[in-house]
Amino acid sequence: MKDKRMTVTRRQFLIRGATAAGAVALPYYVPASALGRGAAAAPSERIVTGGIGLGGRGSYDLGYMLTESDVQWVAVCDVAKGRREAAKKMVDSKYGNQDCAVYGDLRELLAERTDVEAVLIATGDRWHALASILAMRAGKDVFCEKPACLTMTQGQAVVETARRYGRVYQTGAQRLSEAPHVFAIEMARSGRLGPVHTVHADCRWRDGRLHDWLPAQPEPPKEELDWDLWLGPVPWRPYNAGYVKGNGWYHYYDLATDVAMWGAHTVAQGLAGLDLTNVSFIEFEYAGPDATMVTRLSNGVRLVLFRVAGSVWEPCKYWRGACGERFDGPEGWVAAADGYQVPDVSSPALMREYKQVLADYTARTQRPLNHVRDFLDCVRSRRPPVANPEVMARSMNICLAADICEQLKRNLKLDLGKLEFIGDPEANRLRSRVMRVPYTI
């Protein structure tokens, strides 16, 4: 890594980011070396891509995206040396060269690589919103893993940034693009179940509850792991390997969410099957720790956030497996979850149009049943992806409001238009968290 990468000032970053944001509207060419080929080529042939946060889920996403023929990876970034070197090895092995650039600081990648058109963001949750905002300000389209934000205000900032800079943004709620889930959603949306009265969403993974700190341990060398940058916008705490290894950070309030860990998927899946045009508020009923929470939309639909203490893989009466949703109407019910080849239905008659329902969906939306492909197609067409910022924020707001309901241990009512809890100043204060300088929006 070049030494100059560690000396990019804030002013230089902002200037370069603004330059990149303005440049994307103009035709330009990328050197053949950046594309890993020997002849000059127009950038329209490949989507030049970088990655930020490439351990765990990020490495899986990287491997999946490397299979797309119209993507050219040119840069990877991670605060952990081992992870960024492993990501570089994956990219270089794919292209048979050593051209993939390596960064330890996402701000340097965004400032230096004006050729990068799109970025994958798969950092820890605390960085998702801020990294997405910085990337979009720098002129990049964003595929960001879920949950996309830690607070309602962060989620709204992502929406406003995408709108202001004209960027394509897709959150990693991939089940919105998987056939069994799409079928279930379309059965509800199209009225084949009759007016849906109840939606169940799987929110079983309990995380983000602990407020204490692990004991301090000696920090590793900055080149091995930049601890301050790893923490990013959350309150500082002393280094402990327990946060970093095995995603131990999942369990701490400062670093993660609770309901939104899986609700970022399943609430979005549930809302996709409903008509939300006239929904003005949602009520949350506190039912106790680890208890299923019933919420009520102003149109009368019940959105049930299914909870269970213990293993996330424990059986559920609404679906088999995990990350499921179920729609109930007067004409029957349909459910889907991970591992399904086809949905579960209340009557075999509901499956008679399975292929037709999926065909109608792809014809109507012109979307593939492939979440990454939908993002890449939208990078080219400039239309919003299926899990666009508005979809992300709406589902995250409900998940985060449920977190606040559990934290305060009382019923709440959220005005979805104003994003304010009605008559509850304490709940309203929890819509945001202080972000540590200099890692602010």
Q: Could you read off the pLDDT of 340-370 as tens digits, one per residue?
A: 999 999 999 999 999 999 999 999 999 999 9
The pLDDT of residue 23 is 35
Q: What is the mean pLDDT of residues 59-64?
A: 95
The dihedral sign for the CA sequence 124, 103, 385, 93: negative
**pLDDT for residue 4 is more than 60:** no
Q: Which of 401, 431, 190, 421 is CA-nearest to residue 293? A: 401
3-class DSSP state of 403: helix
Q: Evaluate whether 288 touches 429 at the Cβ level (below 8 Å).
A: no
Q: Could you read off the pLDDT of 133-192 as tens digits, one per residue?
A: 999 999 999 999 999 999 999 999 999 999 999 999 999 999 999 999 999 999 999 999
Which residues in 219-292 belong to E strands, given as ranges? 281-285
Q: Does domain 3-167 have CATH number 3.30.43.10?
A: no
**pLDDT for residue 13 is more than 70:** no
**pLDDT for residue 295 is more than 80:** yes
Q: Which residues contact 81 (CB under 8 A, 6 or more apart)?
A: 104, 223, 224, 225
The pLDDT of residue 137 is 98
Q: What is the mean pLDDT of residues 99-120?
A: 98
Indicate the DSSP class of residue 409: T
| pLDDT confidence tier of residue 12, bands split at 50, 70 and 90 | very low
**pLDDT for residue 40 is more than 90:** no
Residue 413, number of CB atoms within 10 A of its CB: 17
The proportion of the chain whose per-residue pLDDT surpasses 90, expressed as a percent, equals 80
Q: What is the pTM of this model?
A: 0.89
Q: What is the mean pLDDT of residues 366-383?
A: 97
Q: Spell out the domain ranges in the chain.
A: 3-167, 175-207+258-368+392-429
The pLDDT of residue 247 is 82
**pLDDT for residue 5 is more than 50:** no
Q: What is the mean pLDDT of residues 421-438?
A: 97
- CATH level 3 topology of 175-207+258-368+392-429: Dihydrodipicolinate Reductase; domain 2 (3.30.360)
Bridge partners of 336, per DSSP, are 325
Q: What is the mean pLDDT of residues 77-83?
A: 97
